[in-house]
Amino acid sequence: MIPQLLDEDLPKSQLGEGAFWDGRSSTFYWVDIKGKAVHAFQMESRSHQSWSVSKEVSFVFTSATGGLVLGLRDGIYDFDPATGRETPIARIELPHDHRLNDGKLDPKGRLWVGSINTSPEPSETAGLYVLKNGMLELFEGGFTNANGKAWSTDGALMYHADTGRGTIWVYDYDLEQGVPTNKRVFVKKDGWSPDGLCMDPENRLLVAVFGGAALEIYTHRGDLIQSVELPVPNVTSSDIADGEIIITTAYDGMSDADQRRAPMSGAVFCVPLPG
């Protein structure tokens, strides 16, 4: 499989993230964290929209009211694309050099969010949170970067990427109560930086590998069955859209020479979903 650009005219993101497919409107959403921008690409009309926001933005979802739900540096916000108004849903005070990071909805619509310590020498002071009753409740601490999340197709397992430790954890998940238990290692590798996670319809876990130039595909047992190579080093997140995988990337942290060697860094790619 050779990845293709989703659209040649789409802008490149410094830190593209938050891949989200809205099947109701056939629209792919993503964010540029460092660029403080939210993007939408409507597949049928091939039209692109973008909105600037006030702070670093790490994820985007559509809301029942027709607006967007955003993860900004300091909390979860309702966002009105027509006016640009940001209305807090749940704010959080994080330590210096910390911000919210990857967010994902479980199969019941509960929002789970990680945080990241962005300091040059990060300590294990980031955490994994769940949105409850208008508050972000800490579920687990001790991370430098609490990153991607995904659930098995039956909702019985929750996966979480611990990027700083090169580890993906798996938990038993009580879908009715929204409670993870029995944490254990799913995949762990030295020098590996798992970023965004996505579950495909065949219960295979898609892992975006930052610095690894690949989207890796694992069985439910943790066996690597395929590695989709991309022409850029920093692969950040993915989602499934009508038989395709749409993949975000980043040029953040790359030197000018690095960007000349990988000029498509920051672009959005697509590849057919393996059979």
For residue 154, what is the domain's CATH number? 2.120.10.30
Tell me the CA distances in angstroms from 199 to 38, 107, 242, one per residue in order.
Answer: 23, 11, 14
pTM of the predicted model, to two decimals?
0.97
Closest CA to 113 of 101, 124, 97, 122: 101
Q: How many CB atoms lie within 10 A of CB 165?
A: 18
Q: State the residue range of the domain holding 101.
A: 4-272
Q: Does 1 score more than 80 pLDDT?
A: no
Rounded Cα–Cα distance for residues 192 and 167 (Å): 8
Say how many domains are in the chain: 1
Tell me the percentage of the chain whose pLDDT exceeds 90.
97
CA torsion 16-191-120-209 (nearest 10°) is: 10
257: tokens are 């020479």
What SS3 state is found at 238? strand
Rounded Cα–Cα distance for residues 12 and 9 (Å): 9
**How do residues 5-49 score in pLDDT, each as one tens digit?**
999 999 999 999 999 999 999 999 999 999 999 999 999 999 999
Q: Does 65 score more than 90 pLDDT?
A: no
Q: What is the mean pLDDT of the chain?
A: 97
What's the whole-number mean pLDDT along residues 88-117? 97
